[in-house]
Chains A and B, each alone.
Chain A
């Protein structure tokens, strides 16, 4: 069984994000980039399934410019067998990524498509759900436990607002991973060296016949408003008035 894992290259979680002075986006020059933490968890889960003997191959895929190859190399160093780079310089948003993933999955024919639940840069939490819709595959998001059954099915425990929900899905299926699913491994020095021999194939959106033109435009990116000092109110009436008309919470 083949598992396809989608990984995204994002600004490293420890970086202090600064908004560009022209407000067109976030400062990305010379900033440390890493694999999205939830994508690491997804890849780790795929590797564990393979190590348990239930999958034969783990393929990582990432989309974007040439620097994606670094992230794919990290994935190979963690233990993935091969990698696919969907090469484009057009900025990609969740729907475009979902369409591309749908095309890649149709070619690769995995039984499981694993993704992180969201990327820590846009916090969109959309791609997994959309690609499941496009593929017409069942989906289980926010997975905190994944267990393969023996009838071509998988049982997934999901973390939802109300608690935990357990779903059983027929394969092929889309699963997005949440924080507590596992603890990702580090690549080891020997695996980093071995990864150099593993294959990274490249393909373009045109070859996949997918239109990735964004259907929206980011107008402005600003920092959150600076925290203002507290204000002492003189009466309950004043408090109610402020809550209603300033803070808009009642």
Chain B
């Protein structure tokens, strides 16, 4: 249920009044009015963010009027519906399906899909603005939303008219949730060596799928799984893409993984034992699956980069607030030149990451031949750089940065995996250099 924004005025006013502030920073051990649960969740004030409203990202000049509206909507949603609860979701490993569905009701469930199937019909550049604003509030939940959007985009782009109409209307409004299944226990970076098979059933047009997929985001919760399985010979050209539903006989799930971060998002193995999948569930032609998977990852990589940027911006804002109020040696630590230089470098890093992501989004929107390496560069750069920004932000918080009372350590744990999934940053370098060598061949 979407809570009243005006109601939060009352909440904020109440928190300001009686909650043990000293110089605007909560005294260690002083507990104010709790919000959602027995465990105290730091308010945005206490976390010291300047969500208080500066145009702190120096990006508005680059956005269209529409993008500014999208950004305002996504920021409000993140601030009101995600940020106050993110710490609790992380601690309890709670997947906030209701919040994710609320986001879908606003149009965030099928951002790139056509209007005819309930999508918002927006560009990759628009998506980058939206996801960055959402990631500011909670990375794990936003990351799931980006993965769901990636799956929807696959069906939208590569599905037949009938497949689009069959699957997308329920997916774009998130009546049904989706997951992407490529990685297996023994094929990660070497994705083309995957071993899940989809053999044609003699005497029908069905396929029988057998195999195991690992690290599936949404595993166990999603209704629809996009599974890459081998229909032909070894290597990428023998792989096809199938839609598998949760309740098909033979589908089961591994235990929910206990992860360092992204804890508000379920992750599990997906086990397929002789799962009968009708031919109309195959997306694209036989042998097209791998190129479909890779094409989806271009957008996915941009989205992951975007989440890194949003998270890093939050950490930077929070760190700036903290060092403005924390005093040592007789002055605020922001008065030390080292702190100022640190903040300047962090800001530069975040802006550079944002621009790399925006460049990749623009290249993908323009269908440029270099969209794939652009996305790889953006993902590699933004995820590495923003993780470091987050780590610097934690250092600026001193001992308090290490406590779960403050949100920084959660952002750090969340961002660490961005350097690994959707293609490790090492693989990104392979992608980039291959494209460089190809164009000079």
A residues apposed to B, CB below 8 Å = 11-16, 30-32, 34, 37-38, 40-41, 73-74, 77, 120, 179, 182-190, 192-193, 196
Contacts and interface: CB of A to CB of B under 8 A. Distances in A.
A30 B76 CA distance: 17
Interface stretch (B8-16, B155-163, B174-182, B253-261): B8-16
B51 A14 contact: yes
Contacts of B1: 183
Given A31-B54, A77-B69, A185-B2, 11 more contacts: A14-B52, A15-B52, A16-B53, A37-B9, A179-B4, A179-B10, A183-B2, A183-B7, A186-B2, A188-B107, A189-B106
Interface of B: 1-10, 12, 44-45, 50-55, 66, 69-70, 72-73, 76-77, 79, 105-108, 111, 115, 120, 122
A13 B8 contact: yes
Contacts of A179: 4, 6-7, 9-10
Contacts of B72: 74
A30 B50 CA distance: 12
Nearest to A191: B107
Nearest to A178: B6
A187 B106 CA distance: 7
Contacts of A74: 69, 72
Contacts of B12: 13-14
B118 to A, nearest CB: 9
B38 to A, nearest CB: 25
B117 to A, nearest CB: 13
A190 B106 CA distance: 8
Contacts of B10: 179
19 contacts: A13-B9, A14-B12, A14-B44, A14-B51, A14-B53, A15-B53, A16-B45, A32-B54, A32-B55, A37-B5, A41-B6, A182-B4, A183-B7, A184-B4, A186-B2, A187-B106, A189-B107, A192-B66, A192-B69
Contacts of A15: 52-53
Contacts of A14: 12, 44, 51-53, 79
Contact of B120 (A40, A73, A190): A190
A40 B51 contact: no
A73 B73 CA distance: 12
A11 B73 contact: no
Nearest to B53: A32
Contacts of A196: 66
Nearest to B74: A189
B70 A30 contact: no
Nearest to B51: A14
Contacts of A32: 52-55
A182 B72 CA distance: 21
Contacts of A185: 2
A40 B5 contact: yes
A28 B106 CA distance: 30
Nearest to B8: A13
B52 A186 contact: no
Contacts of B54: 30-32
B73 A187 contact: yes
A40 B69 contact: no
Contacts of B2: 183, 185-186
A138 B243 CA distance: 61
A189 B4 contact: no
A195 to B, nearest CB: 8
A14 B122 CA distance: 29
A16 B108 CA distance: 29
Most A CB contacts (10 A, CB to CB) among B6, B8, B55 go to B6
A244 B51 CA distance: 43
A192 B54 CA distance: 23
A33 B70 CA distance: 15
Contacts of B105: 188
B106 A186 contact: yes
Contacts of B107: 188-190
B79 to A, nearest CB: 7
Contacts of A13: 5, 8-9, 12
Given A14-B79, A77-B69, A189-B108, A120 B4 contact: no
B4 A16 contact: no
Nearest to B55: A30
B79 A38 contact: no
A186 B4 contact: no
6 tightest A-B contacts by CB?
A: A189-B107, A32-B53, A37-B6, A183-B4, A15-B53, A16-B52
A38 B51 CA distance: 21
A93 B3 CA distance: 31
A190 B121 CA distance: 9
A140 to B, nearest CB: 18
Contacts of A189: 70, 73, 106-108, 111, 120, 122
A123 to B, nearest CB: 11
